[in-house]
Each structure stands twice: as structure tokens, then as C-alpha cells.
Amino acid sequence: MGATLRMASAMGAYTLTDRGTWLSFRGRGGLTAIFDRPDSTLRNQYSIIMVNPAKHPHVKAADTRQFIDWLTSPPGQAAIAAVTMAGEKLFIPNAAGLQ
């Protein structure tokens, strides 16, 4: 994504980028964000899916389940919400109601 921002800067072009890359690039290359709202309007959705252990018995299903349960729990969601760069949130947790 950083290469895309550098190319957009060199070409005087528009591009879409994720918040983390933008925050690390911001202030370089003469680019300006024309739409930057750290809310659910713009989603860069991440998902977690366990590989089917019936089809792939070598996977560590119990460990995977434990990680998924933590990631979607209130403490896991709080950990996601706590990730910042330059004092700005990078992710908006949204696992509530999905389980």
C-alpha cells in the first residue's frame, strides 16, 4: 500500500488506502486525504475463520478456537480498539452481535 501511495503522489493521482498506511505516510509526497473518517462509514473489514479440522486434521483447532473466542470477546475487542498510530485509532472493533 505504501508503494501505491508513492505512485499516486508521483502521478498526481487519487487512490484508496487503509488508515494505518495513510497515517504512516501522511505528510510526505504532497498527498492530502479528501475523505478520512475513523468510523464505520469506511470499512476495511478483517475476518477470522477457522480451517475445517474435519478436512484438515493437522490444524490446531482448540488453539484456534481459543484465539477466535478471545479476539471476539470484550477484552479482545478492547485490544483491537487500543491500537493507535500517532494517537489515532487504526481499527474499529465490531464483533459485538456477530457471534
Q: How would DSSP label each residue in 58-81?
A: TS-HHHHHHHHHHHTSHHHHHHHH
Q: Which whole-number Å values give the CA distances from 20 to 1, 44, 76, 86, 89, in the listed order?
A: 10, 11, 19, 10, 9
| Structural domains of the chain, ranges and CATH numbers in brackets | 1-36 (no CATH), 43-99 (3.40.190.10)
Q: DSSP alpha helices (H): ranges in the chain?
A: 2-11, 19-25, 61-71, 74-81
pTM of the predicted model as reported, rounded to 2 decimal places: 0.71
Measured in whole angstroms, how far is the alpha carbon of residue 57 from the centre of its chain? 29
What does the pLDDT read at residue 90? 83
The amino acid present at 48, given as its one-letter code, is I
pLDDT tens, per residue, the chain with 99 residues: 889 999 999 999 999 888 888 888 877 888 988 887 766 566 777 889 999 999 999 999 999 999 999 999 999 999 999 998 888 888 888 888 665
What does the pLDDT read at residue 89? 84
What does the pLDDT read at residue 33? 86
